């Protein structure tokens, strides 16, 4: 029977202690790291969405038809449907492969806790521009169905600009890249595709998605001014390294 080395045993014990401490914290209701008023105000610094008849809007229309063409690829269409998920637990499951490790409240409590609070914060940044512009979504503009018809009625009265799903997806990619830089290419690829899936599904214009990536990046920079975020980020990095060592 093989015995654990002292070093590996200490890593396992350290990880078990961390999981116990973080699990207790996660059991409490998650709160954003920053309020919407503390985040960059996209209504001020991002341009307003393109207006019908403008050259920018023609690009959005062109990309809408591009998205419909992508639906002919069954695998890509199914991917767009899967990426219509917006709850952190469902997103974490889909980002796990690119991250190189299963992400869940039980297996990676510190990482999951950071994602919960981080994504909750980043998504707040879309609230003001959505309410200000109340841009009509492409499927409503063309009176056509999306790849996820059961969500159409609810989202019809939710502004198209910017894309909340893209803000979440790009935000999650950025957070996970900082925890595991070696996986950055796969994570950023998935984060990018997450946004394009909203164009393919028919829920967003391309300019909604493009603006959302900028917004998520701006908010992620703001998170680095928050002491609570930096503390949780440090704990997530430590958890990742311990888990990585325990698998060696």
30/35 Cα distance (integer angstroms): 13
153/150 Cα distance (integer angstroms): 7
Taking CA 122 as the corner, what is the angle to CA 117 and CA 125, rounded to the nearest 5 degrees? 140
Joined tokens for residue 63: 């990309």
207/51 Cα distance (integer angstroms): 11
Q: Please list the active-site residues.
A: 165, 198, 204, 208
162/215 Cα distance (integer angstroms): 9
3-state helix, strand, coil in the chain (%, to 5): 70, 0, 30
Taking CA 124 as the corner, what is the angle to CA 220 and CA 169, rounded to the nearest 5 degrees? 55
Query: Please, which residues have CB within 8 angstroms of residue 17's CB and are 6 or more apart in sequence?
Result: none
Joined tokens for residue 161: 């600009």
> Integer distance in angstroms from the first to the last C-alpha of the chain?
18
């Amino acid at each position: 029977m093989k015995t654990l080395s002292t070093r590996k045993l200490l890593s396992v014990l350290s990880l078990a202690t961390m999981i116990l401490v973080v699990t207790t914290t996660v059991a409490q209701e998650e709160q954003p790291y920053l309020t919407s008023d503390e985040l960059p105000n996209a209504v001020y610094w991002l341009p307003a969405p393109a207006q019908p008849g403008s050259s920018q809007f023609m690009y959005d229309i062109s990309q809408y038809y591009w998205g419909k063409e992508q639906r002919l690829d069954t695998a890509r269409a199914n991917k767009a449907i899967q990426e219509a998920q917006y709850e952190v637990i469902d997103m974490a499951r889909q980002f796990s492969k690119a991250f190189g490790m299963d992400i869940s409240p039980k297996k990676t409590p510190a990482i999951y806790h950071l994602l919960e609070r981080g994504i909750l914060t980043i998504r707040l940044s879309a609230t003001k521009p959505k309410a200000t512009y109340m841009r009509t979504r492409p499927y409503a503009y063309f009176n056509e169905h999306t790849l996820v018809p059961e969500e159409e009625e609810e989202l019809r009265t939710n502004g198209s600009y910017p894309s909340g799903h893209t803000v979440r997806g790009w935000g999650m990619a950025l957070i996970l890249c900082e925890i595991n830089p070696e996986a950055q290419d796969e994570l950023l690829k998935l984060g990018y595709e997450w946004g394009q899936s909203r164009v393919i599904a028919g829920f967003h214009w391309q300019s909604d998605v493009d603006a959302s990536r900028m917004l998520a990046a701006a908010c992620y920079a703001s998170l680095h001014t928050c002491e609570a975020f930096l503390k949780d980020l440090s704990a997530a990095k430590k958890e990742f390294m311990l888990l990585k060592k325990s698998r060696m």
